[in-house]
């Protein structure tokens, strides 16, 4: 259908998205919530269209040799579709950030100024073959009053096309502009490139996915970008770390869900306590099936390890692998983190107040922790509800991004004839 | 001196700036304020070095045919030097944004999370031949805990070199790292290009100057950019506008300081009140020496005008010129603004509540006003003290940028052994 002669061009789609964003900016929370409820219902009602499209993508994926992990991310089934619809309903319950007054005052000359949250306008998202992102991001964008232009991975294009059609039909039913949610998958890589250069049409671009995807968007985009995600996450066991705390937190940070960006990748241990801490900490990981890539000092304390190479220190494994290094002191730990961190999340396990405060102050990451699992860097865990992504950049948003991070602000100035002296 | 064989390379300078930023991030407000006072004093004490360097730039500028306006911006004299030093002292009085807690809570599992303001790290600034920017930005960056790498226009390079030396000597005297303020002017255009690509060394880049400078930085930079400034600023006289208010505000917005970005460039008037409003409004401008570029309908009501061309609607004159157009209604005014605005500031003069609210809601600019002069879009007028610039983008900062906009945030998570279930 989308490929007929009557299909809108790339430029048409962006223009329509921009027009839709102007309508959406003025829509009340009640109407946006009604649309989200309709989307959740439509996802459930259209299982018979969505799952076969997904089967087609899965078959193509297997033919093209996609890894099991990617196939798993691509797969939708009845249970996952229910989860997707539930996630949309959870967004209904979140507070609408649009219209919130951030600050305001009456100036001495009587001008009333206020800074108010408004939608960005059009949000572009470039991501990989994860159909859940299509639905999550569309729902978050709508709730925050933004139109969204989606460019998903080609491996999920059949699933995404049907998902967007289902979302658009729900928008139509609730009299919101259907062009508020659009896919540009049919324009392929060239469409993605044009999206990155669509200044004046796209207000912000959010790449979600691998480090290489994010880096290429950052390098090529002239539209402002919010980087999300890559996490070479470190945990440092200080000299004074409590053993039981160390064992539990390291295990949780590495093993609970190794495929996500807040999972632990590199463990650093103070030399003076390596003998006390490393054998039990690594034994627990080893039992859980973790492959331990360790430097020579760590290997001398734990035999079931492979030698770590330079590459290990820079690896975001996203698997049951961990890099382990013994360092001479906190300074050496901080140096290592400065060199290899992707500025996502770092945690210290310690009972020493001074070292805890130094770690919190000196590690330059979106989230820094004391005595907690790195897995807590998450919008839900922070109390934001659904999460747009985790920003690892410093501009606009840093750390877990909630709905407010999908808005900008506008200054409203109300006068009664004031001129400047 | 800077050109000897021992001069640091471009890469050295950025590395040193990054190292300096780490020191500066932990410096107390008291020490930063002491450094700012020392800088103000040093500017006054080094008049005999600064003014001759400026004379050299002025002479070169005249040889190279710089316009009078640019020569004027480039010129320093004793009075302007005093003003520069005073501006630095004013920054002493501003509240330090670093360490401010933006929000925080204790999560149900006992994790205490807080979002705290921290410096960006290294701020890069690319600007034109305005020596005051060198001092202003250096002082604002220091106060907000950032190191700054300056690339000024080549026309001011002698002045800037001495200013940076004077600032560095004051930093040295107050035991702050002198590399916290650096110029890369000696590396010319190639240096500017490298600065735009210095990811990992420069955290944010602020271009200040002409639209073409800003556009080229946006297009070439892989470092996150905060765009400042170009202002094709509109004012719309609604049907219900009060005549005296209209005359005074239009005059103030256009004439009070035409060379700045918040000055009025295009006046739109509702057709039904054009006959009532335009003759007196334009007469007042004409008396003040303003050249009026008007469409046919406006010219039929005011003879002392030249025909407006398509180019006029897109012009940021920055001079005593104004474009004037009669529109059929508010919708036509909003359409015109959508097409030509640079999203800086727009104002409506009206007594109609409904139209005022529509204008505020529908104009997509950093600052939207009712019954006020566009000249109020200014950090000082908004109560921020000194201003980094006026952001016309939507990411991170929008409108006048104060010290807080030179910071990012970091999440601090304090636990007692929590793991994720």
What integer pLDDT is reported at residue B2 of this predicted model? Answer: 44
Task: Report yes or no: B364 at the A interface, CB cutoff 8 Å.
Answer: yes
| Contact between A372 and B418 using a beta-carbon 8 Å cutoff | yes
How many other CB atoms sit within 10 Å of the CB of residue A104? 12
Q: Whole-angstrom Cα distance, residue B140 to residue B83?
A: 15
How many other CB atoms sit within 10 Å of the CB of residue A62? 11
What integer pLDDT is reported at residue B6 of this predicted model? Answer: 66
Closest CA to B372 of B238, B230, B246, B229: B246
CA angle at B197 for the pair B194 and B198, rounded to the nearest 5° = 85
Closest CA to B401 of B150, B204, B253, B181: B204
Q: Determine the residue among A410, A412, A414, A416 to mutate to test chain B binding: the one whose Cβ has the most chain B Cβ atoms within 10 Å.
A: A410
Closest CA to B27 of B110, B136, B127, B141: B141
Q: Determine the residue among B372, B373, B384, B392 to mutate to test chain A binding: the one whose Cβ has the most chain A Cβ atoms within 10 Å.
A: B372
Domain A15-229+400-414, CATH: 3.40.605.10
Is B4's pLDDT higher than 60?
A: no
Is A1's pLDDT higher than 70?
A: no
Q: Whole-angstrom Cα distance, residue B301 to residue B27?
A: 62
Is A297's pLDDT higher than 60?
A: yes
Q: Whole-angstrom Cα distance, residue A36 to residue A213?
A: 29
If you compute the radius of gyration of chain B from its CA atoms, what whole number of angstroms results?
24
The answer to whether the beta carbons of residues B253 and B222 sit under 8 Å apart is no
Region B380-404: what's the mean pLDDT? 89
Looking at CA atoms only, how far is residue A230 from chain B in angstroms?
Answer: 15
pLDDT bin (cut points 50, 70, 90) of residue B1 is: very low
Task: Report yes or no: B361 at the A interface, CB cutoff 8 Å.
Answer: yes
| Contact between B411 and A203 using a beta-carbon 8 Å cutoff | no
The answer to whether the beta carbons of residues A310 and A291 sit under 8 Å apart is no
**What values do phi and psi take at B413, rounded to 5?**
-120, 120
Region B91-95: what's the mean pLDDT? 94
Contacts of A251 in chain B (CB under 8 A): 419
Looking at CA atoms only, how far is residue B386 from chain A in angstroms?
Answer: 16
What integer pLDDT is reported at residue B214 of this predicted model? Answer: 86
Alpha-helix runs per DSSP H in A292-395: 296-299, 310-313, 330-340, 353-362
Q: What is the pLDDT of residues A371-385, one digit of tens each?
A: 999 999 998 899 887
Averaged confidence pLDDT in chain A: 94
Which residue of A249, A368, A418 is in closest CB contact with B373?
A: A418
Give the count of Cβ contacts less than 8 A between chain A and B. Answer: 196
Is B3's pLDDT higher than 50?
A: no
Q: Which residues pair with A228 in a beta bridge?
A: A391
pLDDT bin (cut points 50, 70, 90) of residue A338 is: very high
What integer pLDDT is reported at residue A369 of this predicted model? Answer: 98
Region A55-81: what's the mean pLDDT? 93
| Contact between B415 and A369 using a beta-carbon 8 Å cutoff | yes
Q: Which pair of tokens denotes residue B40? A: 């103000």
Q: Which pair of tokens denotes residue B339? A: 């097409």
Looking at CA atoms only, how far is residue A286 from chain B in angstroms?
Answer: 19
The answer to whether the beta carbons of residues A359 and A236 sit under 8 Å apart is yes
Q: What is the pLDDT of residues B26-79, one digit of tens each?
A: 999 999 999 999 999 999 999 999 999 999 999 999 999 998 888 988 999 999
What integer pLDDT is reported at residue A6 of this predicted model? Answer: 66
Q: Whole-angstrom Cα distance, residue A88 to residue A33?
A: 10
Architecture category of domain B10-228+400-414 in CATH:
3-Layer(aba) Sandwich (3.40)
| Contact between A394 and B115 using a beta-carbon 8 Å cutoff | no
Task: Report yes or no: B107 at the A interface, CB cutoff 8 Å.
Answer: yes
Looking at CA atoms only, how far is residue A123 from chain B in angstroms?
Answer: 12
pLDDT bin (cut points 50, 70, 90) of residue A5 is: low
* Domain ranges, ordered by start, for chain B: 10-228+400-414, 233-376
Contacts of A248 in chain B (CB under 8 A): 417, 419
pTM of the model: 0.90
Q: What is the pLDDT of residues B286-325, one digit of tens each?
A: 999 999 999 999 999 999 999 999 999 999 998 999 999 9
Q: What is the pLDDT of residues A175-201, one digit of tens each?
A: 999 999 999 999 999 999 999 999 889
Contacts of A372 in chain B (CB under 8 A): 111, 413-415, 417-418
What integer pLDDT is reported at residue A398 of this predicted model? Answer: 95
Which residue of A249, A370, A415 is in closest CB contact with B419?
A: A249
| Nearest chain A residue to B245, by CA | A417
The answer to whether the beta carbons of residues B25 and B121 sit under 8 Å apart is yes
Domains A15-229+400-414 and A233-376 share a fold: no
Contacts of B242 in chain A (CB under 8 A): 417
Q: Whole-angstrom Cα distance, residue B78 to residue B66?
A: 22
| Contact between B368 and A412 using a beta-carbon 8 Å cutoff | yes
| Contact between B419 and A367 using a beta-carbon 8 Å cutoff | no
What integer pLDDT is reported at residue B252 of this predicted model? Answer: 98
Is B13's pLDDT higher than 60?
A: yes
What integer pLDDT is reported at residue A236 of this predicted model? Answer: 98
| Nearest chain B residue to A104, by CA | B382
What integer pLDDT is reported at residue A20 of this predicted model? Answer: 97
B314-333 residues touching A, CB cutoff 8 A: none
Q: Give, in words, the CATH class of A233-376.
A: alpha beta
Report the percentage of chain B scoring pLDDT > 90: 85
Contacts of A367 in chain B (CB under 8 A): 410-411, 413
| Nearest chain A residue to B418, by CA | A372
Q: What is the pLDDT of residues A126-174, one digit of tens each?
A: 998 889 999 999 999 999 999 999 999 899 999 999 999 999 999 999 9
pLDDT bin (cut points 50, 70, 90) of residue A2 is: very low
Task: Report yes or no: A120 at the B interface, CB cutoff 8 Å.
Answer: yes
Task: Report yes or no: A49 at the B interface, CB cutoff 8 Å.
Answer: no
Averaged confidence pLDDT in chain B: 94
What integer pLDDT is reported at residue B7 of this predicted model? Answer: 76
What ipTM did this prediction achieve?
A: 0.91
Which residue of A121, A222, A412 is in closest CB contact with B219?
A: A222
The answer to whether the beta carbons of residues A181 and A148 sit under 8 Å apart is yes
Is A7's pLDDT higher than 80?
A: no
Q: What is the pLDDT of residues A210-255, one digit of tens each?
A: 778 888 898 889 898 888 878 899 999 999 999 999 999 999 999 9
A226-285 residues touching B, CB cutoff 8 A: 226, 242, 244-245, 248-249, 251-253, 256
Task: Report yes or no: A62 at the B interface, CB cutoff 8 Å.
Answer: no
Region A339-353: what's the mean pLDDT? 96
Is B385's pLDDT higher than 80?
A: no
B135-194 residues touching A, CB cutoff 8 A: none
Task: Report yes or no: A371 at the B interface, CB cutoff 8 Å.
Answer: yes
């Amino acid at each position: 259908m989308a490929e007929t002669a009557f299909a809108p061009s790339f430029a048409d789609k962006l223009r329509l998205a921009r027009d839709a964003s102007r309508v959406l900016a003025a829509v009340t929370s009640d109407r946006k919530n009604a649309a989200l409820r309709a989307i959740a219902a439509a996802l459930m009602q259209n299982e018979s269209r969505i799952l076969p499209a997904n089967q087609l993508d899965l078959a193509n994926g297997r033919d093209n040799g996609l890894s099991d992990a990617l196939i798993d991310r691509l797969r939708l089934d009845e249970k996952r579709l229910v989860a997707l619809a539930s996630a949309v309903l959870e967004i209904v319950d979140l507070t609408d950030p649009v219209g919130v007054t951030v600050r305001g005052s009456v100036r001495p000359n009587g001008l009333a100024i206020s800074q108010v949250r408004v939608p960005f306008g059009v949000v572009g998202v470039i991501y990989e073959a994860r159909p859940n992102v299509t639905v999550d991001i569309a729902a978050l964008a709508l709730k925050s009053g933004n139109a969204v232009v989606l460019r998903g991975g080609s491996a999920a294009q059949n699933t995404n096309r049907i998902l967007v059609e289902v979302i658009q039909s729900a928008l139509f039913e609730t009299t919101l502009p259907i062009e508020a949610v659009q896919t540009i998958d049919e324009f392929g890589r060239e469409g993605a490139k044009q999206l990155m250069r669509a200044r004046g049409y796209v207000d912000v671009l959010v790449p979600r996915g691998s480090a290489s995807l994010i880096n290429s968007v950052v390098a090529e985009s002239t539209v402002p970008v919010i980087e999300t995600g890559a996490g070479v996450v470190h945990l440092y066991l200080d000299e004074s770390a409590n053993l039981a705390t160390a064992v539990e937190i390291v295990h949780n940070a590495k093993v609970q869900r190794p495929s996500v960006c807040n999972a632990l990748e590199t463990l650093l241990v103070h030399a003076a306590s390596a003998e006390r801490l490393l054998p039990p900490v690594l034994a627990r990981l080893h039992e859980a099936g973790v492959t331990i890539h360790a430097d020579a000092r760590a290997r001398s304390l734990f035999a079931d390890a492979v030698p770590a190479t330079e590459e290990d220190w820079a690896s975001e494994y996203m698997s049951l692998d961990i890099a382990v290094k013994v360092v001479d002191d906190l300074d050496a730990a901080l140096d290592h983190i400065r060199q290899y961190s992707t500025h996502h999340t770092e945690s210290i396990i310690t009972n020493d107040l001074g070292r805890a405060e130094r770690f919190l102050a000196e590690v330059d990451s979106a989230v820094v922790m004391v005595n907690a699992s790195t897995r807590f860097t998450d919008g839900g865990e922070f109390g934001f509800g659904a999460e747009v992504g985790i920003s690892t950049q410093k501009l606009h948003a840093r750390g877990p991004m909630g709905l407010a991070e999908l808005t900008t602000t506008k200054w409203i100035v109300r006068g009664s004839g004031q001129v400047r002296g």
